[in-house]
Amino acid sequence: MIEIVCNDRLGKKVRVKCNPDDTIKDLKKLIAAQTGTKWNKLVLKKWYTIFKNHVQLQDYEIHDGMNLELYYQ
């Protein structure tokens, strides 16, 4: 299990525990459960990289304790 921190810079910081072989879509669904928004309205970024839904976390080299930027569509 890894823990990922997602910050939307509007005062909401979400900590999510997931597996490295989960997809970005699975991560978005876990975030949506905590924030109360729909998962398909969330966009996850790191710098200028926008993460695609079908790719696994380990393929993007997302590790334990990593911070991701959370945006709303």
Domain extents for the chain? 2-72
For 37, list phi and psi in degrees, rounded to 5.
-105, 165
> Given this model, what pLDDT does residue 12 score?
86
Helix residue ranges per DSSP H, 13-71: 24-35
**What distance in Å separates the CA atoms of residue 45 and residue 49, rounded to the nearest whole number?**
5
Is 24 buried (19+), middle (13-18) or exposed (0-12) by CB count in 10 A? buried
Fold designation for 2-72: Ubiquitin-like (UB roll) (3.10.20)
> Given this model, what pLDDT does residue 50 score?
92
Check residue 19 and report its DSSP letter.
-
**What pTM did the predictor assign?**
0.89
Q: From first to last of its 73 residues, what are the pLDDT tens digits of the chain?
A: 899 999 988 888 999 999 989 999 999 999 999 988 999 999 999 999 899 999 998 888 998 989 999 999 8
**What distance in Å separates the CA atoms of residue 67 and residue 22, rounded to the nearest whole number?**
17
